[in-house]
Amino acid sequence: PSRLIGRTLELHLYHDRIVGYLAHQVVVELPRIRATDKQKRRARCINYRHVIEGLRRKPRAFLYCTWQQDLLPNDEYRQLWEHLKAHYDLDSAALLMVEALYIAATQDKEGAVAHYLHTQLDAKTLTLVGLQEHFQLLQRPPIRQVNVTQHELSSYDQLLSPRVSDTPAQPLPEPQSLPQATTPLPHAGAVGGPRTTGDAGRMVARPILAGTVRIGGATPLEYPTQARPQRGPTAKRKNPLQL
């Protein structure tokens, strides 16, 4: 709570326990553990109830936790953990154990959860959904009964029988003939003639009647014939690069 932020937690050490006081009120009490192994300098006392909320969000962290054995509340749960690893893959075993610890912490049913795990493991029917449903963490909505009335199949007969209309059917209009295309005008002959191998680089012109031009079959138009001027000799140009 916000009213407790900033206050100091006072720990009282006893020969068999550690008691924490906050504003003269006992808020935590843990057993005092002493190291019995000569190789260990210190012993740990970890209550899984203090970390189970965060551990449930990331259950795979239980696999690689350094305090894995200290998180399990007693030897019975340590034995259950070994059975889970033997019958399930590691991810599924960690998920089942973390969920079981969460139920034991939130509902204060540590013994009941352990008994349920033993029973389901012996029957080989332990599942995560079954564990949650048994302790009412997962409640499935009741199946709603729906009554359906089957309609008469005779109603489909009107789709199979031909439909009789009150008005007579109108005849389809006759297809209209497409307009005939106009007669194309004759084209004049080609101005240029076919080339031969020796005609490269020049154009061979075909002579045209200079005095008569026929347009669309009309009366020929007469044009006066003009004399073609004669060209004089052209001086040969010198190549400036030629010496």
> CA torsion angle for 41, 42, 43, 49 (degrees, to 10)?
-150
Q: Is 120 exposed, middle or buried (0-12, 13-18, 19+ CB in 10 A)?
A: middle
The Cα–Cα gap between 114 and 191 comes to 109
pLDDT at 241: 55
Residues of the chain with pLDDT under 70: 1-6, 39-40, 138-141, 161-172, 175-243
Give long-range contacts, CB 8 A cutoff, 24+ apart: 40-46: 44/70, 45/70, 46/70, 46/71
pLDDT at 177: 67
pLDDT at 88: 94
Reported pTM:
0.50
pLDDT at 172: 66
Tens digit of each residue's pLDDT (9 = 90 or more) over 106-124: 999 999 999 999 999 999 9
pLDDT at 37: 72
Contact 21, 12 (CB under 8 A): yes
The Cα–Cα gap between 81 and 69 comes to 10
Q: How far is CA 56 from CA 61, 100, 103, in A?
A: 9, 10, 11
Sign, CA dihedral 22-24-29-33, equals: positive
The Cα–Cα gap between 233 and 243 comes to 24
pLDDT at 122: 93
Tens digit of each residue's pLDDT (9 = 90 or more) over 173-184: 776 666 665 666
pLDDT at 205: 53
